[in-house]
Amino acid sequence: MIIFGAEARVPAARVLLLSVTVLVLHVMLFSRFSLFAVRPEPFLLLTIVGAFQLGPSGGALLGCSAGLAADLLSSSPLGLWMLVCGLIGLALGTLRGQLNQERQRTTTIVAVVSCTVVGLLLYPTLSFAVSETRYPPPLRFLTIIAFACLWNVVLAPAFMIAARVVLHPKRTIR
């Protein structure tokens, strides 16, 4: 068992199960449809949702696990998505105690949008630094960010429920 924070005990197998499930969903479902040639970012969304559920260390671990799954599917150097998702999981997990719990929907939407933007800005920057891949043209880049945010906001409730069921099954039953 891995202990994430003082209040939660989550087996590492559940973190792995969640990451592998999203990997399979991405390959079988999310990679098959797009809106203006922009697909959802399920690994980034899993990291965001996991950071809300698990806190800083759990969010970082789940982010690294989800990022590694994303790296296995991308053609960029191995470890970039793992680094980006791990950092986002750590940062959002650290901030979760300071977020407004009374306005959970608004807080969730703002966190999903802001973390998606940060992730989609950080990833190509690191990719450029490591392998000198070019940024997309500015208008295309803004389109990618806008529609990826839209996808993640739409998919966030389903991901939050799935993460709650897998990571904390006893709390879900109550």
Q: Could you read off the pLDDT of 114-139 as tens digits, one per residue?
A: 999 999 999 999 988 888 778 888 99
Distance CA 11, CA 15 (A): 7
Tell me what pLDDT residue 9 has. 59
Chain centroid to CA 76: 18
Q: Could you give the C-alpha distances from 6 to 53, 55, 58, in angstroms and in order?
A: 13, 10, 11
Tell me what pLDDT residue 15 has. 86
Q: Could you read off the pLDDT of 11-47 as tens digits, one per residue?
A: 788 888 888 999 999 999 988 888 888 888 999 999 9
Contact 48, 108 (CB under 8 A): no
Q: Could you read off the pLDDT of 46-68 as tens digits, one per residue?
A: 999 999 888 898 899 999 999 99
State the pTM of this model. Answer: 0.87
Tell me what pLDDT residue 172 has. 53
